[in-house]
A and B are shown apart, each in its own frame.
Chain A
Amino acid sequence: MSALHPRTRRTAGTAAVLGTALALTACAGGTDAPVGEPETPSEPVDLRMTVWTADETQLGLFQSIADAYVADNPELVSSVTFETIPFEDYTTALTTQLAGGNAPDLAWIFESNAPEFVASGALVDLRPVLEGTEGYAYDDLVPSALSLWQDGEGLYAYPFSNSPFAMFVNTDQIEAAGQPNPVDLVADGRWTFDAARDIAAATAADSGKQGLVVRDFDYQAWENLATVWSGWKAAPWSADGTQCTFTEPEMVDAMTWFHDAVFTDGALPTPGTTADFFAGDAAMTITQISRASSLDDSFHWDIVPMPEGPAGKQNVVGQAGVGVFAAGEHPDVAADFLAYFTNAENAEQLAAYFPPPRQSLLNGDSLAAANPKLTADQLEAVVVEGVEDAVTKPAHKNFAKLSETVRAELDALWVEDADVEAVLADTCSAITPLLED
């Protein structure tokens, strides 16, 4: 029974179940506490941050930063706990905690949830705290990295991770097929989506394996196709999120290209076929550079920036944010801790795992120290340049519903004789009411 510790931060309720039940239905009100310099609480508080990483070294790093903060601010905080929730169930568990009136003080937030969280008012505006924190250098933050997490002037979460999408290539397979090395094409300025398609198709035909894999897409998570259609400057909806743009010519062209690359050229795996690049099952893959850690020495590989599309090269990053909940118990203390957690010095430590949104840290050398599998040149080409003017994957404050609806509609596109324009038109009529919501 030794494991039955009641949580220390709350005294165990003495009220009987039935007695408290009446009070339960009343919704816990979020206190819109003004955030600024935290007032010293009557006694030091315990902070709790929910994360989805379970990696011991990452958690160890977080804890060491937190311990230093506690040591500096004993009157504010007595401890910081990092609570791991499994990736797959992260949103479910976080939502249950919010619904149950047990909001964490800080939480990691998925990129796709960003506009919803930002618009909901659930998060505290961090900008005054970050700007007001001495030595924080708010201006050092890359503006394009912040845009997803802003609403008006306010910044509602800090994008601690900015991992650009890039193309990994299996040079063994490409060489065996007698195809040009993408690295050379990049140097010649001939690295285009069409070139990538041709290399992928020829290599797949030669190896009997797969060509190009858009990782995590699997014909379900369609938002990952943003890495492709961005080369056409296409987007699913207008920047303000009110108009469907699936039927615009750029998107029709991009989707037609993709459909034909799959079904005519055999450059990408067909639906229902998965191939793992890191297991040696595919010639190339589009994914975030952070996945380099999955590579072992079973084949030779290289990494190149995203190819150019008809509209030029467009960088895409995948982000993750961390925010402070207004409904938490100590939002002002939590925001102060966040300012410490992500200051220049600590951001450099975190850069070992998460490319930071700080201009000063985005150079090949400082990133190479943290990423032993990649050279400074590779990092310079892919990360540093990849974060410049990068767009994020599609996001919307109604994203969950949009994502589900678009997935269901696009299923009609993933057959050999699909009518691309008709499917995209259907998609627009299905999501227009959701965009207007």
Chain B
Amino acid sequence: MATASAAVRRDWLVGYTMVAPVVLGSLAFVVLPLGMVVWYSLHEWNVLANTFTFVGAENYQRMASDPGLADALAATVWFSIGLVVVNIALALLLAVLLNQKLPGTTTFRTFFFSPVVVSLVAWTIVWSFLLQADGGINGFLEQAGVQGPNWLRHPTTAMIAVIIVQVFKNVGLNMILFLAALQGVPEELQEAARLDGAGAWRRFRSITLPLISPTILLVSIITIVGSLEVFAQIDVLTGGGPGNSTTVLVYYLYQQAFRFNEFGYASALAVLLFVIVLVLTLLQWQSRKRWVFHEV
């Protein structure tokens, strides 16, 4: 470093200048607010009563004995796992189908992508109609001779319904990412494998999947992080119920902050949420060496 020439130093300066906006922006709009959240989490803060009292780690101790939080964490785990698995599987399936260059591909692609641009409110409301006990879905099942469940009133089906509605809303984006990755897989490799007598499934597993594994990593990170932010859909569809079965962490946090006016405790939950996201991302990033085919 000490020996860096003037030219190299000039290059450094360009580098700092180029990253300056986003670095300063991150400091001001990400790191600083996060720091403030940590600070709030050490206080008991009732916005209405306008009390702001330093309580040390009390909010964190409270977490350990909060049964609501334990339920919320369990719901979050189920929700996130379900969402990521279903989302990625469906996105991959759609992308593979759309990559077959079938007639009508352009139209289908638009169909699958369209919910991404539709307003969340309209989307959730029409699904809440469809998921009623006597709604469109059960009407359809009845035609097929199946007695449909009362989707939003049983813990398991409510969770499934929330996941499915969320997947349909956003799977189009992941589908596009996979589609893009699939189009980057050289045809020649496929062709060579076909000549070697490899079947379609075999080719998919040993050529396509490894080649798009970096995209799978990125998509799963984005989806997991996104799954921890799902709020409005749960609010409209189940309101966190039945019981507490669909009260996920971010919904719980929102309740604490904006319904119960417990900003201090909500801030501590926010810190917990951040740590969870951070750890998950690090784990995924660490594990990439084992299953992601090639490195950047």
Contact = CB atoms under 8 A, between A and B. Distances in A.
B28 A98 contact: no
Nearest to B29: A17
A122 B28 contact: no
A408 interface: yes
B153 A122 contact: no
A294 interface: no
B50 A414 contact: no
Nearest to B232: A88
Contact of B132 (A21, A116, A274): A274
A172 interface: no
B241 A273 contact: no
A122 B50 contact: yes
Given A116-B48, A117-B48, A272 B36 contact: no
Interface in A1-39: 17-18, 21, 24-25, 27-30
B88 interface: no
Nearest to B241: A411
B158 to A, nearest CB: 10
A17 B242 contact: no
B36 A24 contact: yes
A91 B259 contact: yes
Contacts of B254: 92
Which of A24, A117, A327, A404 has its CB near the most chain B CB atoms (within 10 A)?
A404
Contacts of A74: none
Given A404-B255, A411-B241, A27 B263 contact: no
Contacts of A411: 153, 241-243
B39 interface: yes
B261 A95 contact: yes
Nearest to B71: A408
Contacts of A29: 50
A99 B263 contact: yes
Which of B27, B48, B240 has its CB near the most chain A CB atoms (within 10 A)?
B48
B133 A272 contact: yes
A408 B244 contact: yes
B32 interface: yes
A427 to B, nearest CB: 12
B77 to A, nearest CB: 19
A270 interface: yes
A27 B50 contact: yes
9 contacts: A21-B32, A98-B47, A98-B50, A120-B46, A122-B49, A272-B150, A272-B151, A408-B243, A408-B244
A30 B28 CA distance: 27
A173 to B, nearest CB: 18
Which of B46, B47, B134, B257 has its CB near the most chain A CB atoms (within 10 A)?
B47
Contacts of B182: none
A286 B247 CA distance: 29
B48 A25 contact: no
Which of B45, B242, B257 has its CB near the most chain A CB atoms (within 10 A)?
B242
A271 B150 contact: yes
Nearest to B32: A21
Main secondary structure of the interface of A (DSSP, over half): helix
A414 B254 CA distance: 26
Contacts of A30: 50
Contacts of A91: 258-259
Given A219-B153, A408-B241, A270 B49 contact: no
Contacts of B49: 120-122
A220 B52 contact: no
B75 interface: no
B239 interface: yes
A407 interface: yes
A401 interface: yes
Given A25-B36, A271-B150, 8 more contacts: A91-B258, A95-B47, A95-B261, A99-B47, A120-B46, A122-B48, A122-B49, A271-B153
A400 B259 contact: yes
Interface in A361-417: 400-401, 404, 407-408, 411-412, 414
A273 B259 CA distance: 27
B230 to A, nearest CB: 16
A27 B28 contact: no
Contact of A95 (B134, B153, B258): B258
Nearest to A88: B235
A25 B39 contact: yes
B31 to A, nearest CB: 10
A394 to B, nearest CB: 16
A437 to B, nearest CB: 11
Contacts of B261: 95, 116, 400
A431 B132 CA distance: 30
B35 to A, nearest CB: 8
Nearest to A271: B153
Contacts of A18: 27-28, 32
B134 A273 contact: yes
Contacts of B48: 95, 98, 116-117, 120, 122
A78 B168 CA distance: 51
Contacts of B258: 91-92, 95-96
A99 B48 CA distance: 8
Contacts of A408: 240-244
Interface in A265-321: 270-274
Interface string B176-215: 0000000000000000000000000000000000000000
Contacts of A273: 132-134
Given A27-B52, A220-B241, A271 B36 contact: no
A408 B244 CA distance: 6
A117 B48 CA distance: 7
B260 interface: yes
Given A95-B47, A220-B241, A404 B259 contact: yes
A294 to B, nearest CB: 17
Contacts of A95: 47-48, 257-258, 261
Contacts of A98: 47-48, 50
Interface in A76-97: 91-92, 95-96
